[in-house]
Copies of this chain bind each other. A is one copy, B any other.
């Protein structure tokens, strides 16, 4: 017997009461009963996005809503800047290329955040760029970008900023309205604590205005259609059938988040991340992103001579815990421990204790209990 745990930066663990919602009989979406659920979920989304704007919900995973931003905001031939700090940031460029958009890629060293000063310079050098795509939490490297500073740099150049907050939203401060994020998007299997299958997008009026002249094609992901249904009728609605069971789970999960309070949720993630990093470093392991480490996951460099895939596999096959490996050019070199969504101090204790066990199994002996002690000290201070 071996219990199963998910400690990945998505999908994340789901509270039992949220899982239970999906086992209730299906209801039709064009009913007052579902409309009330959708309205409550929508208010919860506005709370988590920290916005007064409508938040669109699509039946899609994160990449679909990334594509939606390109399709709704750009025209073929347009020049844009992609400010990337890794695998998912680079995806913006791939999508732009498919849509005939000229994406200038500015990629930070992996493990480092994007430097807002550099973005400012690039925008000054290319005054025809009026759109910047970037990432809040780069899941592939465990780095957080300074979105407030990046938004400022974009706005100074008269550009709009589009932020992939798929794995970051809910785990760390992100102020859609206060920071002036023009378009922000996220996905359900991350800080939302529900299964994958929903994508969310919030666009400020200026961005909505830009969609009106943007020529790239979109139908399923049309912001115009989605916003009309969301705002022009008595009850918020969707243009096409919503993913009913996931929306019902979303409503429930957002109630749990509301009860804790969004700022407390951020604080919890920050504390758990700090404890995880302390545990990892106490074992003599090196953090991959020490400069701007994510509150959602901790990326760790595998000891010399050990393939990080083996660490990953041992976590999973010997101890029943799904963590994540390296992606793109860091495949085999780093491993990533998620502490995102429905996680608390117990998860960190278990994660760090298991990391010590795994290190022994893969032949990299560490002093047992040392990482746990370091994590405990932080958790005690943070009351987690």
Chain A contact residues, CB within 8 Å of chain B: 4, 6, 8, 10-14, 19-20, 22-31, 59-64, 66-67, 71, 94-95, 98-100, 187, 189, 195-197, 216-220, 222, 239-246, 316, 322, 324
Contact = CB atoms under 8 A, between A and B. Distances in A.
Contact of A217 (B14, B22, B99, B196): B99
Q: Which of A11, A94, A244 has the most CB of B within 10 A?
A: A11
A6 to B, nearest CB: 6
Nearest to A166: B241
A242 B64 contact: no
A80 to B, nearest CB: 15
A8 B29 CA distance: 11
A62 B195 contact: no
A22 B30 CA distance: 22
B64 A322 contact: no
Given A4-B25, A196-B244, 19 more contacts: A6-B25, A6-B26, A11-B26, A11-B241, A12-B26, A13-B25, A19-B22, A19-B24, A19-B25, A22-B195, A63-B220, A67-B220, A94-B219, A98-B217, A98-B218, A99-B217, A187-B241, A189-B241, A217-B217
B241 A62 contact: yes
Contacts of A98: 217-219, 222
Contacts of A31: 316, 322
A242 B59 contact: no
Q: Which among A94, A242, A243 has the greatest number of chain B C-beta atoms within 10 A?
A: A243
B63 A245 contact: no
Of A61, A95, A219, A222, most buried by chain B (CB within 10 Å of CB) is A219
A350 to B, nearest CB: 15
16 contacts: A4-B25, A6-B27, A11-B27, A11-B29, A19-B22, A19-B26, A22-B22, A22-B245, A26-B195, A60-B64, A61-B242, A63-B220, A98-B219, A195-B243, A217-B217, A246-B246
Contacts of A217: 71, 98-100, 216-217
A245 B316 contact: no
A244 B11 contact: yes
A22 B14 CA distance: 11
A322 B158 CA distance: 50
Contacts of A13: 25-26
